[in-house]
Amino acid sequence: MPEAYHWISQSNVTDPGTLKAALDELPDGLAGLQRLSQELVFHYRAGGDWDAAGVARDRIREVDIRYVEDMLRRLTELEGDLSSERAPSQRIVGCCRDYTVLLVAMLRHKGIPARARVGFATYFAQDWILDHVVAEVWDEADARWRLVEAQVGEDFVPADGPGFDPLDIPRDRFLTGPKAWLEARAGVREHERFAVAPDVDVPATRGWPYLRHNLLHDLAAVAKTEMILWDEWGLMTGPPPRISNATHARRQLEMLDHVARLLADPDCPVENIEEWAQREGLAVTETVTSYSPASGEPLTVDVRRALGSLDTA
């Protein structure tokens, strides 16, 4: 059995829990589930006018829904049938991460190995490579991982060139966090072009700090701890090591380079992923700092449920 089948089981984040039965009647194939994923989320930045869509402004708090079970509960409150076509107001308010974890949960439920990949897309804005999350799905027939868009469909018009199959994104148009880090380090792409969004002029959300951010988020995601994008922990805090010649900074840089080289290969062995995902500074901690757009200040969030480390005694 291929190692890819490690990603056929749910994580603590994607587990539908008590809402598992809601996924039983959904389409079995990748194409149908990918189309469905686009109907489940109203993107808090890219979804358009909230008032015109009938989405109440106080629903911004939904962007912090971490677990698929809770997402499904909210979706069934808004519209009972998950497979029904939904108005924007009947979707949860979220971002690319939420489209993706829902798609990954549905695929795993249907017996298809899938995982989230955190990185950067070239196709949303000309001359920018923007923060994004997509699914990576095992293609049994071709014995390979393919990148799959959970947020946009066949009618999407890319900003950077010709259209592409959303079920098989070219790997030069979505760069996983590790691939982006390596290309920036090698000077293949300018680090200044990587950002959350062109109009977000916050130093921590672009260049080296955010390349490091998405490298660590991608490690957590492939290790089956799919975090919310504004979570920070470990080495994400503090200035990026590239700007310092201190010994500890060089060691940090070497570690990040090594992790990036490992994870840039879609077929990186599970044991290597799990080993590095447990390293100090890289491992997701029991509490993280959240810079949620729903809050005016940083929050400390307990994520032990995501780690499976809650004391249930």
Stretch 149-154: mean pLDDT, rounded? 96
Q: Which domain holds residue 42?
A: 3-307
Residue type, 83: S
Q: What is the pLDDT of residue 312?
A: 45
Q: How far is CA 6 from the centre of its chain?
A: 18
Looking at the whole model, is its pTM more than 0.85? yes
User: Would strands 41-43 and 92-94 be described as parallel, antiparallel, or unpaired?
Assistant: parallel
Q: Is the pLDDT of residue 247 over 90?
A: no
Q: What is the pLDDT of residue 251?
A: 85
pLDDT band for position 311 (cuts 50, 70, 90) = low
* pLDDT for res 144: 97
Of the candidate ranges 110-124, 163-177, 253-267, 297-311, the one whose mean pLDDT is the lowest: 297-311
174 vs 172: CA distance, rounded Å? 6
Contact yes or no for 165/31 (Cβ under 8 A): no
Q: What's residue 1's pLDDT?
A: 61
Average pLDDT over residues 301-308: 97
User: For residue 127, what pLDDT is reported?
Assistant: 95
pLDDT at residue number 248: 66
**Which pLDDT does position 313 carry in this prediction?**
38
pLDDT tens digits along 198-226? 999 888 999 999 999 999 999 999 999 99
Q: What confidence tier does 229 reach under pLDDT thresholds 50, 70, 90?
A: very high
pLDDT attached to residue 105: 98
Q: Does residue 197 have a pLDDT over 80?
A: yes
Residue 242 confidence class, pLDDT cut points 50, 70, 90: low
Across the range 1-26, mean pLDDT stands at 94
Closest by Cα among 218, 221, 241 to 120: 218
Chain centroid to Cα 293, Å, comes to: 17
Mean pLDDT of 14-32: 95
User: What's the confidence (pLDDT) of residue 237?
Assistant: 81
313 lies in some domain:
no
> Is residue 24, in this structure, part of any structural domain at all?
yes
Position 312 in a domain: no
176 pLDDT higher than 90? yes
Instruction: Specify the amino acid at residue 89.
Output: S
Burial 111-147, CB ≥16 within 10 A → b, else e: ebbbbbbbbbbbbbbeebbbbbbbbbbbbeeeeebbb
Q: What is the mean pLDDT of the chain?
A: 94
| Residue 15 domain flag | yes
- Tell me the C-alpha distance between 151 and 119, whole Å: 14
pLDDT grade for 2, boundaries at 50, 70 and 90: confident
Q: Is 270 exposed, middle or buried (0-12, 13-18, 19+ CB in 10 A)?
A: middle
Q: Which of the pair, 213 or 244, is modelled with greater confidence?
A: 213
For residue 24, the model assigns a pLDDT of 94
Residue 107 belongs to some domain of the structure: yes
The stretch 29-40 carries a mean pLDDT of 96
Reduced DSSP (H G I as helix, E B as strand, rest coil) percent helix, strand, coil of the chain, to 5: 40, 15, 45
pLDDT at 241: 57
Alpha-carbon distance of 161 to 194, in angstroms, equals 18
**119: nearest Cα among 162, 183, 66:** 183
The average pLDDT across 280-303 equals 96
Q: Is residue 217 domain-resident?
A: yes
Separation CA 47–CA 183 (nearest Å): 30
* 208: CB partners within 8 A, 6+ apart: 184, 191, 240, 242, 243
- Total structural domains in the chain? 1
Across the range 55-81, mean pLDDT stands at: 96
Question: How do strand 231-232 and strand 287-290 relate by DSSP bridges?
Answer: antiparallel
